Amino acid sequence: MTPQQLHGIALVRKRIDEIDNTVLDLLKERLDCARTIGKLKDESKRAKWDPQRELEIYERLRKNNADVFPPAALYSIFHEIITTCRLSQRKATVAYLGPEATFTHQAGVRYFGQTASYQPMESIPEVFQEVERERVQYGIIPVENSIEGAVTYSLDSFLLYKVQICGEIKLPINHNLVNRSGNMEDIKTVVSHSQALAQCRQWLRKHLPGVPAMPVFSTATAAKMAAEDPSLAAIASSLAITTYQLQVVVRGIEDFQGNKTRFLVLGDKSPSRCGNDRTSVVFGLINRPGALNEVLTILSAKGIDMTKLESRPAKNQLWQYVFFVDMVGHIEDPPVHEACNILKQICAYFEILGSYPAAEAAMPAD
């Protein structure tokens, strides 16, 4: 390089350093402002989290950016800034299905940011229990997969524990076959969570015929087992590869592209409306002809868009079922509020599980 070019690079680098220092000073000022707001909210006993305000920030930044800075990266940067500032008011503690590096852990980090305190649990019911007993502020659990459908342990736990849904996140799922050596010929058994095994069953059948598959508590448990036993291979997340120092045998072995899992955030109360919300309810029917059709007719008459309907056996009554419904709108919206009041009167059992910002309200397209 010529002396002029070297001098030019030095000048630009100096300017970058100046910009970085300015950004850092502004971040410190923003953090101080967030703490001041936190104190004012404490005085007025307002909720710390205002989802509508956060959505307004993201939308303003998106418009001002005009696609100059990569939109997904811009969201990621400001998501970390916003969550860090919010958590400075009170650091969030989050229970999740562990151990470290499960897809649930990954979803939690994406939702709450790196600065939250994460506590791994051995089972989904334990996550509910920690939230109900207020040993943590939040829990995060998988509720359905775009390929395999509902996570029944999660649905059944809503019938046992008193918690509220506070939010949701949809995470793209990429399954990796990993072991200690990185060689397929060393694999004697494949271990993973039952959902992960189901989402890769065709690939396993074709490429590892005759090799048994064994379900375990989580994908991270499987990764940990594979790190300890050279005869095992795990189906696990990218985060688990680095966490447990494993080698990749094959990346992306899921049977269907576009595979996503929806996770729910649990807490003690739902946030206020943001304008792009979902409400989840569960109900049991009086045993009479047309009872389910009556419920659906009420929702339709109120102009409510139902996005999910799932049935589960009622554990305390033989051959009786409860129904889980997700609908567009917040319980503060008059149509949703009115419909729920009617359903409370005509159903044998009815409970509002929560109103919360829809995942599409904040997350950019993948």
- Whether the CB-CB separation of 292 and 323 falls below 8 Å is answered with yes
Sign of CA pseudo-dihedral 165, 168, 173, 179:
negative
Q: What is the largest CA-CA distance in the chain?
A: 88
Name the residue with tokens 């795990």: 234
In sequence order, what DSSP letters do the residues of 228-273 get, joined into one string? H-TTEEEEE-HHHHHHTT-EEEES---SSTT-EEEEEEEESSPPPP
Could you count the other beta carbons within 10 Å of the beta carbon of residue 179?
24
Q: Hey, CA dihedral for 253, 258, 262, 263, is it positive or negative? A: positive
A 10 A CB-CB count for 185 gives 7
Is 30 annotated as contributing to ligand binding? Answer: yes
156 annotated as ligand-binding: no
Rounded CA separation 238/163 (Å) = 31
Ligand-binding annotation for 257, yes or no, is no
What are the b/e assignments for 148-173, b being 16+ CB within 10 Å? bebbebbbbbbbebebbbbbbbbbeb
205 carries a ligand binding annotation = no
Closest CA to 102 of 173, 40, 164, 152: 173
245, 227 contact by CB (below 8 A)? yes
Find out whether 39 is annotated in a ligand binding site. no
* Residues 88, 38 contacting (CB under 8 angstroms): yes
Write out the binding residues: 13, 30, 41, 50, 54, 85, 89
Write out the binding residues for substrate: 13, 30, 41, 50, 54, 85, 89
